[in-house]
Amino acid sequence: EKSGASSSKSEDSLRSPICCIMGHVDTGKTKLLDCIRGTNVQEGEAGGITQQIGATYFPAENIRERTKELKADAKLKVPGLLVIDTPGHESFTNLRSRGSGLCDIAILVVDITHGLEPQTIESLNLLKMRNTEFVVALNKIDRLYGWKVCRNAPIVKAMKQQSKDVQFEFNTRLTQIVTQFKEQGINTELYYKNKEMGKDTFSIIPTSAISGEGIPDLLLLLVQWTQKTMVDRLTYSSEVQCTVLEVKAIEGHGTTIDVVLINGILHEGDQIIVCGMQDPIVTSIRALLTPHPMKELRIKGSYLHHKEIKAAQGIKINAQGLEHAIAGTSLYVVGPDDDVENVKEAAMEDMRSVMSRIDKSGEGVYVQASTLGSLEALLEFLKTDEVRIPVSGIGIGPVHKKDVMKAIVMLEKKKEYATILAFDVKVTQEARELADEAGVKIFIADIIYHLFDQFKAYIDNLKEEKKKEVAEEAVFPCSLKIVPNHVYNKKDPIVVGVDVLEGIAKVGTPICIPQREFIDIGRIASIQNNHRPVDSAKKGQRVAIKIVGSNSEEQQKMFGRHFEIEDELVSKVSRRSIDILKANFRNDLSIEDWRLVKTLKNLFKIQ
């Protein structure tokens, strides 16, 4: 009852490449998968296509049959192609081992009528991060106005049938999309013009998931490219390499794990170790399950049992104690010569490597993702230079009350970090209530950089609020000179024309006179520039200022008695005012302004 991972002897040395479908929502990922799966089923034969757990297997025979119109005489060396059934970045990020990607090649689906969209860019970033090869399926070409359907035809043939208008529209859109890719730092080209098929230029295959144009090209390119450029990677190894894609409770089977076996053979009864949140899970395989071959006959909860299964294949594993297994981690088999403790160590390495990215200072946001793979992608992003958000704690799965409790700790250390960035996970009602009550922010998004945008907007807003709060106490530095013949009022209030010699004269700034034993003459109450009220005046400007006494009980100091025309007026700074300025207004002052702060600090003999 082998589900066809390998067939003839000569093909035994290579395993099937593993392919993921990625892209923005509604670009046609699911439809595309249906389309490549469906053709032969409609013709009344399964064509060797096998439904696996979480994946569909396309044998080389089937691919050869469907691509014969392309007259590709090249021999297919790989036994087939294993396409992961759940499109999107979740399965891609979980197909990992020690931080590197196990997906051999990806199909990035782009809707020709929409071009690059947010999740396209997210997918691109993930592909770049994992260094994964991909081809672009430029889908929905049948939506071009006037498209003439050529069912399941190779793309060049289909294109020849189209009118000049359709061809023109196609080329216009293609050019735009190539430019959009270029803006993301990616070179792309129509696959049949991309002779190099090299690493530097990615191939575009126009497709329709509805009428099937371009699908033969897509299939052929996937296998040809992988077998040509990835021989080392695809050489079958008997050492088990297996990754957990999903942890699922199944009626009648308890908690099971869906895995992709990339290399090696799994047997019923094998002792296995998988990574748990805190501890490794040591158990043994009770059942190796795959779906029944005929989809129609499949009864809910009924699977085929296997004594052993060889890679590459998607499998459901039933074993005890899998409740706390983590998706995105590796599954290890304990061999007869293995030390269980060593294997346990190895299994926990996935968790440790992620934990090691937590900020040592203990100050940072709390991040939560659905799987280890997506958590890793999020952490990777947060530490990039453009982002740099420290992380103090992590969690996998829905946000629970206990996760909020951990974020609450940050309220006392650094309020803005009392935040949970939740990537593609749910937040329980209880957690939400506690967070609202305690003042912990929870941001949720299914696109990584949207989390960043939300968090950044929040931080900026906090900064603005803080600025307003301390505005009274923040003293901007200025040095002013009274303009002769421009003393309009000597006291209560003082109104004089001044030249701003240095710094920024701002409404609210306390002013004193160093030459006269630092006497206070009051605060700037208003500023007029050319008879118009303004909030501040910069170096070089000549403005009129009104100064009112800071202290209402005392008589205000008077021009001509307490100070004279030649006296310099400066901001009255203190240790505290300088600290507040530094903490909240660093970017509002120029280097020159900061130099003046330093001069004033020395003048006032502030330590």
Distances (CA, A) of 247 to 275, 331, 336: 12, 12, 27
For helices 29-42 and 215-229, angle between their N-to-C axes, nearest 10 degrees: 100
C-beta closer to ligand GDP: residue 174 or 210: 210
Among 8-16, 78-86, 203-211, 495-503, the segment contacting ligand GDP (CB under 6 A): 203-211
Compute the distance between CA of residue 31 and CA of residue 208 in angstroms, rounded to an integer.
9
Minimum distance from CB of 31 to ligand GDP (Å)?
3
Residues 6 or more apart from 590 whose CB is under 8 A from it? none
Residue 142 in the binding site for ligand GDP (CB under 6 A): yes
Among 60-68, 117-125, 134-142, 226-234, the segment contacting ligand GDP (CB under 6 A): 134-142
Helix (H, G, I), strand (E, B) or coil at 119: helix
Q: Which of 29, 96, 130, 306 binds ligand GDP (CB under 6 A)?
A: 29
What is the DSSP secondary-structure string of 185-226? T-EEEETTT-TT--SSEEEEEE--TTT-TTHHHHHHHHHHHH
Minimum distance from CB of 35 to ligand GDP (Å)?
8
Residues 6 or more apart from 342 whose CB is under 8 A from it? none
Binders of ligand GDP: how many residues, by CB under 6 A? Answer: 15
Residue 152 in the binding site for ligand GDP (CB under 6 A): no
Q: Which of 13, 25, 167, 340 binds ligand GDP (CB under 6 A)?
A: 25
**567 secondary structure, DSSP code:** P
254: amino acid identity, one letter: G
C-beta closer to ligand GDP: residue 62 or 208: 208
Compute the distance between CA of residue 327 and CA of residue 325 in angstroms, rounded to an integer.
7
Compute the distance between CA of residue 326 and CA of residue 477 in angstroms, rounded to an integer.
56
C-beta closer to ligand GDP: residue 25 or 606: 25
Which residues ranging from 539 to 578 are in contact with ligand GDP (CB under 6 A)?
none
Residues 6 or more apart from 566 whose CB is under 8 A from it? none
Residue 109: its H or E element: strand 105-111
Q: Which of 126, 138, 209, 365 binds ligand GDP (CB under 6 A)?
A: 209
Compute the distance between CA of residue 304 and CA of residue 369 in angstroms, rounded to an integer.
32
Q: Which residues pair with 393 in a beta bridge?
A: 366
The vertex-342 CA angle with 336 and 345, nearest 5°, equals 135
Residue 139 in the binding site for ligand GDP (CB under 6 A): yes
C-beta closer to ligand GDP: residue 145 or 294: 145
Q: Which of 3, 11, 31, 494 binds ligand GDP (CB under 6 A)?
A: 31
CA nearest 315: which of 384, 256, 232? 256
30: amino acid identity, one letter: T
Residue 599 in the binding site for ligand GDP (CB under 6 A): no
Residue 87 in the binding site for ligand GDP (CB under 6 A): yes
Residue 208 in the binding site for ligand GDP (CB under 6 A): yes
C-beta closer to ligand GDP: residue 147 or 366: 147
Minimum distance from CB of 108 to ligand GDP (Å)?
11
Cβ-closest position to ligand GDP: 28
Query: If 0-12 CB within 10 Å is exposed, 13-18 middle and 19+ buried, where does residue 63 land?
Result: buried
Q: Which of 7, 30, 283, 574 binds ligand GDP (CB under 6 A)?
A: 30
C-beta closer to ligand GDP: residue 11 or 111: 111
Compute the distance between CA of residue 119 and CA of residue 291 in angstroms, rounded to an integer.
31
Minimum distance from CB of 113 to ligand GDP (Å)?
9
C-beta closer to ligand GDP: residue 87 or 276: 87
What is the DSSP secondary-structure string of 335-350? -TT--HHHHHHHHHHH
CA nearest 479: which of 529, 538, 398, 403? 538
Among 28-36, 238-246, 424-432, 580-588, the segment contacting ligand GDP (CB under 6 A): 28-36
Q: Which of 68, 143, 193, 456 binds ligand GDP (CB under 6 A)?
A: 143
C-beta closer to ligand GDP: residue 107 or 209: 209
Q: Which of 7, 26, 64, 444 binds ligand GDP (CB under 6 A)?
A: 26
Tokens of 398: 């829905």
Residue 37 in the binding site for ligand GDP (CB under 6 A): no
Compute the distance between CA of residue 45 and CA of residue 36 in angstroms, rounded to an integer.
14
Helix (H, G, I), strand (E, B) or coil at 49: coil
Q: Which of 140, 306, 344, 557 binds ligand GDP (CB under 6 A)?
A: 140
CA nearest 231: which of 383, 553, 15, 25? 15
C-beta closer to ligand GDP: residue 208 or 392: 208
C-beta closer to ligand GDP: residue 27 or 256: 27
C-beta closer to ligand GDP: residue 215 or 326: 215
Among 19-27, 194-202, 339-347, 457-465, the segment contacting ligand GDP (CB under 6 A): 19-27
Minimum distance from CB of 212 to ligand GDP (Å)?
9
C-beta closer to ligand GDP: residue 95 or 209: 209
Residue 122 in the binding site for ligand GDP (CB under 6 A): no
C-beta closer to ligand GDP: residue 28 or 291: 28
Half-sphere exposure of 511 (CA within 13 A, CB side): 32
Minimum distance from CB of 140 to ligand GDP (Å)?
4
Query: Among all chains, which residue has been given the structure tokens 């090649």?
Result: 105
C-beta closer to ligand GDP: residue 25 or 583: 25
Question: Reading across the β-sheet that carries 80-84, which strands appear in turn?
Answer: 50-51, 55-59, 80-84, 18-23, 105-111, 133-139, 201-206, 187-190
Half-sphere exposure of 381 (CA within 13 A, CB side): 23
Binding site for ligand GDP (CB under 6 A): 25-31, 87, 139-140, 142-143, 208-210
